[in-house]
Structure 1
């Protein structure tokens, strides 16, 4: 019995040490990406992807592989769970009824449009769902969360990485171009906030675009964007229920042991509730938000290491057309909402 008691902690320690090289490697990539982003601008998620892909030759390294796998599949769940601290139900009231309906419609219609466009382009529905959810909700974070609800496998990882790259690229382009649209069309502060917060993919790019115009537009855009982030919760819950049997079938006996609603999603819901009730100190929210970002950027770095440029090039032009179509659709939709609201209140 003494031998078993001693060997059990030892086996756990050995298992942990096997993860260290890969985890540290992905963390270094994430740190490098964050440094480049802070010094020269641009999205750190995209930098982490590209730097990781440059080190694809280490994906099959026996020492690094276990840690890379954990970073790609486990850390994303921690990062998504901690996103809950950035959301409060009270934020919904500040947007107004029209804004809430319009933003909820943007999420639902973009996902439906993406599924339809993927079918027209003869692409897998999984890619349509990932790209539509990422475009409609909150960029790479949504892509990673939605990916965790789908049957796991090489195809899932491949499509998730492709979506992440495309969303990061189009979101950065939107951050530069959409403020020019706001100025050219003479949008008011509330209209500009609704358009930017409803049409740009990632939170960081929404903030950047809004504050390029003014502080008030930046605040309004951020609020609208956070409502879209809040839509991640019901979307992920629905997808978890829809794909539960598919994940079980794809995962074999181990998948059969998985709960219907995973722990990370329950933590996400709990943190939203606690934050809405004012139970989380500002310091806890700040630390948890930063930790969430680090988990997600390390995870996306790991996905980058696992995928090569050659594999992405084999996909052709259709996925690019899908992501571009989604970006144009949600921007056109939000502009139409802005002008219809203007006519209604005139």
Structure 2
């Protein structure tokens, strides 16, 4: 048993180590130059595509792109608690939850107009609606194996990260122009920007109070990742042809996410453990997205085409308009 584990570790280490090094480089660029870490990780990983085919590194890269990302998503549960959700208030909670559901539904409806299938529509719509790159990777991990799956995932991560960065810059200007108050601004930023880091950047660029509220709203959207993945797994199981292996009823990483969120809600996770697990989650997701980049062929990525980009832009605009309308109606 020990020898088997040792052999497996030796098989995985080269590819895993390279994914980790790319993640460290991406984090360095983020901390010193303000570049989005997720975007840097996937862009730095893509030129290393040959390592996904190299015998010595292929297994470790594949492990990082799939298993490591599931570990990272599961550990996000330590950031969630029931108290966070209750503190926001029912009207704004309705806006946030309905915004996620409406955006995913809207994405499934418009997919054909942009020449994309329902799986790509769900992947990109879930990424826009919930939490950007993290949601894209979680959703991508439960979708049936198909041609261009990794290309579509890499495309979605890159596109939502770029749009999230643009939103971080321009949405605070938009909220000022629309004369939203501090609470409305926090809900809008947290309810519409795709990635957590960009929500934090946008919110705290206005004020500390806005930053705290926008981060809270964003983490509530992250909480919705678990039920969305669960419902998707149920639908995918029912649509699988007889004789074909079905996805699990509840993916293991979703169960782990819910367990950690529950424990955190009851205060059973010590602060230092929660902070450590949160850091591990961030690094795991960063290394995973670097590995996804390594498994992505740039020529194949370009095959996705302009209509898919406009589709994600349309999804982003829909979410922004929906949340803004909800704030005005219920706020």
Instruction: Give the structure-2-normalised TM-score.
Output: 0.96
Deviation at 1:14, TM superposition (A): 1.7
1:317 aligns with 2:306: yes
1:283 aligns with 2:279: no
1:307 aligns to what? Answer: 296
The answer to whether the 8 Å contact 1:18/1:66 transfers is yes
Deviation at 1:98, TM superposition (A): 0.8
1:270 aligns with 2:263: no
Q: Give deviations 1:38-83, integer Å, cap 9, x for gaps.
A: 1001210100000000111222111110100100111011011101
Q: Distance in 2 between matches of 1:338 and 1:241?
A: 32
Larger radius of gyration: 1
1:194 aligns with 2:187: yes
The answer to whether the 8 Å contact 2:99/2:319 transfers is yes
1:74 aligns with 2:63: no
Q: Give deviations 1:83-102, integer Å, cap 9, x for gaps.
A: 10011011111111110110
The answer to whether the 8 Å contact 2:92/2:330 transfers is no
Distance change in 2, residues 1:297/1:159 (3 Å)? same
Q: Which of 153, 160, 163 is the matching residue for 2:156? A: 163
1:134 aligns with 2:127: yes
Secondary structure in 1 matching 2:205: helix
Deviation at 1:259, TM superposition (A): 4.1
1:329 aligns with 2:322: no
1:32 aligns to what? Answer: 25
Root-mean-square deviation (CA, aligned residues, Å) is 1.6
Deviation at 1:24, TM superposition (A): 0.4
Q: What does 1:215-230 correspond to in 2, within 5 Å?
A: 215-230=208-223
Secondary structure in 2 matching 1:64: helix
Q: Distance in 1 between matches of 2:254 and 2:210?
A: 32
Q: Distance in 1 between matches of 2:169 and 2:80?
A: 26
Deviation at 1:11, TM superposition (A): 3.2
Distance change in 2, residues 1:153/1:302 (3 Å)? farther
Deviation at 1:248, TM superposition (A): 8.4
1:148 aligns with 2:113: no
The answer to whether the 8 Å contact 1:150/1:247 transfers is no
1:114 aligns with 2:103: no
Q: Distance in 2 between matches of 1:94 and 1:9?
A: 48
Deviation at 1:175, TM superposition (A): 0.2
The answer to whether the 8 Å contact 2:75/2:260 transfers is yes
The answer to whether the 8 Å contact 1:199/1:330 transfers is yes
2:86 aligns to what? Answer: 93
Q: Give deviations 1:145-192, integer Å, cap 9, x for gaps.
A: 111221134432221111101110000000000000111111101110
Q: Which of 43, 51, 59 is the matching residue for 2:44? A: 51
Q: Distance in 1 between matches of 2:314 and 2:93?
A: 23
2:329 aligns to what? Answer: 340
1:176 aligns to what? Answer: 169
Deviation at 1:300, TM superposition (A): 0.6
1:4 aligns to what? Answer: none
Q: How many residue pairs are counted as aligned between the two chains?
A: 331
1:211 aligns with 2:204: yes
Secondary structure in 2 matching 1:55: helix
Deviation at 1:215, TM superposition (A): 0.5
1:65 aligns with 2:58: yes
The answer to whether the 8 Å contact 1:83/1:289 transfers is yes
